[in-house]
A and B are shown apart, each in its own frame.
Chain A
Amino acid sequence: MSSADREIQELLADYAGALRDGCLPTFLKSLTRDEARRISESRDFWEATEVVRLLNSAGFGEKVVTPDVGLFISRVDAGIASRMKKAHASTRDHSRSHVNLQ
Chain B
Amino acid sequence: MFIGHLHRYLGNEVECEDVLEDVYADIWENPDHLRNIEDERHLLKTVYLYYMRKRLREVYRRLNRRACLSQDDLQNLMAPDLGLCDLVSQEELKQLLHKMLGKLKARERKAIELWMEGMSNRAIANQLGTTVGAVKMLEFRTILKLREMLKEQYRVSGGED
Contacts and interface: CB of A to CB of B under 8 A. Distances in A.
In this complex, the member of A9, A19, A56, A79 whose beta carbon has the largest number of chain B beta carbons within 10 angstroms is A9
Contacts of B120: 17
A55 B22 CA distance: 26
Interface residues of A, number: 52
Nearest to A52: B143
Contact of B137 (A9, A15, A22): A9
A54 interface: yes
A22 B63 CA distance: 15
B136 A10 contact: yes
Interface residues of B, number: 62
B24 A76 contact: yes
A72 B21 contact: yes
B10 to A, nearest CB: 7
Contact of A31 (B9, B14, B68, B76): B68
A3 B2 CA distance: 42
Given A29-B66, A36-B67, A58-B116, 19 more contacts: A12-B140, A13-B136, A24-B11, A25-B63, A40-B69, A44-B140, A47-B147, A50-B83, A50-B147, A50-B150, A51-B144, A51-B147, A54-B8, A56-B7, A57-B5, A57-B7, A57-B90, A66-B20, A76-B25
Interface of A: 8-10, 12-13, 15-25, 28-29, 31-33, 35-36, 39-40, 44, 46-62, 64-66, 72, 75-76, 79-80, 83
